[in-house]
Amino acid sequence: MSYSGWILLTASLVGLSCGLIGCLLILRRMAMMADAISHTVLLGIVIAYLITRELSGGHMLIGATLAGLLTAVLVQWLHTRGVQQEASIGIVFTTLFAIGVVLIATKVGNAHLDVQHALMGEITFIPWERVEVPGIGAIPEAVLMLVIVLTVVLAIILAFYKEWKITSFDPALAASLGLPVVFMHYLFMAMVSMTTVAAFDAVGAIMVVAMLITPAASAYLWTDRLAVMLALSGGIGVLSAFLGYAIAAWLDTSISGSMAFATGILFMISFIGSPKYGMLARWMKPAEAAESPPHV
């Protein structure tokens, strides 16, 4: 595969996996948790590096996942003690991210790990960091990691599809039916953390947040069915990767930044052109729109 092909494949895998997770984030009204976890996983990555002195490997995924779970636990703990949900997220997010930044500045030294890399990523380096896969050959390490994570995410979503629907739309009903709401919550947080760190090194925190939220928000404008929303969100994530790469090539600018920008372009198209919740539909059918206002 060509150099640009690996970049597009990596970004498409990020868009697809983040798009699927993003749907559940939107439905659970936890969009800000995506921003929080995409930054606080930096602390887990730094601690994993300080323990192992290795910048790649499964320990990075484990460290980041634990940091994501710690974020969820601390946010829930503060919220149950009277702190508003948004304030809890803000407090935990900024504190854990700041600790990660301080550790990078004081402990990491000359390792290839810095705040700029963490925020923006460096997707252009992806094709050069390869691993040997039996029967396939040498492929970028990020691609292998993202394929594994996407497979796990798909398997978990399909295995607990009914549970995700009920716990996302009506947690109280789910609890009354005896479903493990708390377990599903922390399983979901683990999925968010795992997906985030798989994309973190390649594309940075900014693109991860964009891919987690914006494609799902766009898909939400087009359908009221979860299965369709999942498919649309993943497709929009992949389309954003290709559109963003074209924009980056045209303007000779950041690939990750352009892909994040592309998610915004596709959202605006959805926001304006959605046949049910779009601005044009509301303008053309004011009475109907008044009965069913936009829900993003």
Confidence band (pLDDT; 50, 70, 90) for 291? Answer: low
DSSP state at residue 133: E
pLDDT, one tens digit per residue, over 227-247 is 999 999 999 999 999 999 999
Averaged pLDDT, 17-37: 86
Quote the CA–CA distance of 52 and 89 in Å, as a whole number: 29
Three-state DSSP class for 177?
Answer: coil
Per-residue confidence (pLDDT) for residue 53, from 0 to 100: 75
Q: What percent of the chain has pLDDT over 90?
A: 26
Q: Judge residue 95's burial from the number of C-beta atoms within 10 Å of its C-beta, 0-12 exposed, 13-18 middle, 19 or more buried.
A: middle
Q: How many CB atoms lie within 10 A of CB 295?
A: 10
Quote the CA–CA distance of 163 and 149 in Å, as a whole number: 20
Does residue 199 contact residue 145 with C-beta atoms inside 8 Å?
A: no
Per-residue confidence (pLDDT) for residue 13, from 0 to 100: 93
Quote the CA–CA distance of 221 and 203 in Å, as a whole number: 26
pLDDT, one tens digit per residue, over 118-145 is 555 667 777 777 787 887 878 888 888 8
Residues in the chain: 296
The label of the residue with tokens 């939107």 reads: 26
